Every structure is written in C-alpha cells, then in structure tokens.
Structure 1
Amino acid sequence: MKASLKAKYSTDKNSAGATFSVNAGNVKLRASMTDATFINGPSLNGLALSLDKPGSFIVDYDLPKKDLRFQFMNTVRIAEKPINLSYVHFKNDNRTILDGTLVFDSTNKVSANHVVGSGNAKLKYTYVHGGVTTFEPSYDIAKDCWDFAVSRKVFGNDVFKATYQTSSKALGLDWTRTSKHNGLFKISASLAMGEQIKMTNLSAESSWDFEMF
C-alpha cells in the first residue's frame, strides 16, 4: 500500500490532502481526500475514489458531488508512429473531451485537445532540445490566440518553467525540485503583464510519497 501527502500554501488559499493507493493485480485502487474531509469532523467533503488501469482506463468518483469521471486511453500506430488517444467524460457536466498526441520521435510531438460540442480545440507542439529544454507553443482555435511554455532541467532534479498566455497577458513561473528522499517541492508565481507588472498569486507546494506496508 502506498500513500502520498500534499500541502499547498498560497496567497489565495491554503490546502492539504492525502492519497492512499493499493495495487490489485494490474489495476490500482485509490482514495484521495483534502483538508475539507476533516474540518469540523470527518465528512465526505473532498473525498474521491478511483480505479486505475495504467494505459487503459481511469474511473473517478467524487462522493460529495456524486459525480463520475471516465477516462479511456489507447495507442494506435500510423506509419509506425504512435498516436496516444484519450477519451474523458464528466457525467454531471455531460462534458466529453477528446485528446490525441502524435509522437514523431523522442524530441517532437504534436497534440490536439477538443471539447465535444463546443467548437473549441487546442493544438500544441512539443520540442525537446538536448534532453533538458522543452518548448511548447500552443494555439487556441476558439480564442484565436497563442500560448507559450518553456521549461529547462537544471542541477539534475530541478525544473524551471515559464508560461505566457497572450489572451490574458498572464505570466507563470514555476520551480520544481523532485527527490526520492524529500519528495516534490514546487514554488509558483503568477503575474499580470499589463501597464504595470502585478503579482496575482504566489504559492509553495510540497508532497511526499511513501510505502505503508
């Protein structure tokens, strides 16, 4: 049985959570909860259950909302190139998302995301340079705008990432450090790039994974 603990502190809202998972053959059973589950005594708030078969399907059930989320994954090959396909459906919202990624090689891939019935689709190109720097321009068809992301690995376990949304002129900066012994630590900042640069949010997030037995 595996468990993970997560805490997040931000200028907007502080939160904490925990996840417990058990392998049952080739599927994984998972229960996740937030601090809302224990505030004012144990409750169903923030409690969710999942059934996960890696590379095949994920079923999530949100207990307080009584909402089901289905995700099915598959990989097909065209001209020896793999295409990773994903179908996601949210029951309460009656919303379906289709996602596909064409992998050309270890450094180049193109992905598309479409919300069924919305007329909206997003296209993204990913290029990895030298195994350490990743460039990800994306285009939102409905908004007719571009977004950009650049990330770079440094010092082995650290990743610096910058994102920019042209429609909202929002700049995001992330620093993530991953360690087998200390878990994951992440600092994020969001800035509004108007006439004056203004920080809209600053957060720090930590998570730890460990074996229970």
Structure 2
Amino acid sequence: MKASLKGRYANEKNTTAATFSVNAGDIKLQASITDATVVDGSSLNGLTLAVEKPGSFIIDYDDFRFQFMNTVRVAELPLKLTYIHSRGDNRTVFDGALIFDSANKVSGNYTLGTGNCNLKYSYVHDEVTTFEQCYDWGKNAWDFEVSRRVADDVFKATYQTWNSDLALEWSRNSKFNGTFKVTKTK
C-alpha cells in the first residue's frame, strides 16, 4: 500500500491533497482527496477514485474517464492503440502509434465529432536529436519540431505554419542543478 500527502501554500491559498494506492494483483486501486472534499463539510468535490490495470485500462470516477490501451502487431510491427472517453469534457479520442524501430515512429490522433485529426512522423537521430513533422487536418497545416539533448539540457525549435509561429525553448531537468524552462515565441 502506498500513501502520499502533499501540502502547498501560495499567495494566501493553502491546498492539501492525499492519495492512497493499493495493488490488488495486477489491478491498482487509487483514491485521492483534496481539501475541497472536507472544507465546508464533506462533499464529493476533489474526490478521485480510479481503477487501473497498467497497459490495459484506466477507469477514473472523477470525470468519468475510460481509457483502454492495447498493442497489436501489424506486419510484425507493434501498433499501440488507445481509446479515451471522458464524460467530464464530453470527448472521445482515438490514438495510435506504429513503431518501425527505435528511431522511426508514425502516430495519429482523432477526436470524434470535432474533425481534429493529426498524423505525426518522428525520427530520432543518434538518440539525442529528434525531428518531428505533423499534419493537422483540422487546421489544414503542418507543424515542425527539432530538439536536441545535450547532457541535462534540451534545446527545441518549433514552427507552426497555420499561424507562422516560431518558438525556441531551452529546458533543464537535473537532480543536481535544478529544473527550469525558457521559451521565446515570435
């Protein structure tokens, strides 16, 4: 059994959250509450209940979200499929990723009823440089991204053709030197 308790104080606003997890065989049961659950009398606000079988499904009571995952083989290549339905934001999403090898992947995403459909190709060169291009049918536009990892730093450039937006980013995630992100958008 795992349990965690988190507290936060920011600008005169205190928040508290508690999470309890229990593994029942290959199923994980989880309950989380926030201070909204007990402040001003008990309520269901801030209460989250979830049942998860890693790699297979997640059922989340908070926003009535169902997520099912599976991997099938297509021409001996793994195709990862995910179906997500969230009643909270009334959305159904289908995701898929076909992995050719450790450097090449094609993924797609479709949100039912919105016309939002993306197809992305990703190539990783020497395990440090990633090139991605994505076509968005909803916007009828391309997005391009290149990123490079240098030790704990990641340098990334993105370009969105639909709004001519160019962004540069430098981020660091280090146990010893800390974490930060610097972004500049044109």
Question: Structure 1 length as normaliser, TM-score?
Answer: 0.67
Picking from 155, 172, 180, the partner of 1:187 is: 180
Contact 2:110 2:117 in 1 (8 A): yes
Following superposition, the deviation at residue 42 of structure 1 comes to 7.6
Change (3 A) 1:46 1:101: same
Contact 1:172 1:188 in 2 (8 A): no
Alignment of 1:54-73 (within 5 A): 54-62=54-62, 67-73=63-69
Paired residue type of 2:118: K
Following superposition, the deviation at residue 16 of structure 1 comes to 8.1
Following superposition, the deviation at residue 102 of structure 1 comes to 0.5
Alignment of 1:43-82 (within 5 A): 44-62=44-62, 67-82=63-78
Structure 1's unaligned 5+ residue stretches are 9-14, 194-213
Change (3 A) 1:174 1:70: farther
Following superposition, the deviation at residue 23 of structure 1 comes to 2.0
Contact 1:175 1:186 in 2 (8 A): yes
Question: Corresponding residue for 2:12?
Answer: none
User: What are the superposed Cα offsets for residues 38-95 of structure 1, whole Å, 9 maximum, x if unpaired?
Assistant: 8778865444222211110011121xxxx20000001111110110000000124432
Question: d(CA) in 2 for partners of 1:29 and 1:108?
Answer: 35
Question: Corresponding residue for 1:137?
Answer: 133
Following superposition, the deviation at residue 137 of structure 1 comes to 1.8
Question: Structure 2 length as normaliser, TM-score?
Answer: 0.76
Structure 2's unaligned 5+ residue stretches are 9-14
Picking from 164, 167, 171, the partner of 2:158 is: 164
Following superposition, the deviation at residue 150 of structure 1 comes to 2.9
Compare relative contact order (CA 8 Å, sep 6+) and give the higher one, 1 or 2. Answer: 1
Paired residue type of 1:145: A
Paired residue type of 1:23: N
Change (3 A) 1:189 1:42: farther
Change (3 A) 1:175 1:31: farther
Question: Corresponding residue for 2:114?
Answer: 118
Question: d(CA) in 2 for partners of 1:46 and 1:174?
Answer: 34
Change (3 A) 1:60 1:140: same
Paired residue type of 2:25: G
Following superposition, the deviation at residue 173 of structure 1 comes to 2.5
Following superposition, the deviation at residue 100 of structure 1 comes to 0.6
Contact 2:171 2:182 in 1 (8 A): no
Contact 1:147 1:165 in 2 (8 A): yes
Deviates more, 1:107-116 or 1:43-52: 43-52
Paired residue type of 1:148: F
Paired residue type of 1:57: F
Question: d(CA) in 1 for partners of 2:153 and 2:7?
Answer: 19
Bigger Cα Rg: 2
Question: d(CA) in 1 for partners of 2:18 and 2:44?
Answer: 14
Identity %: 53
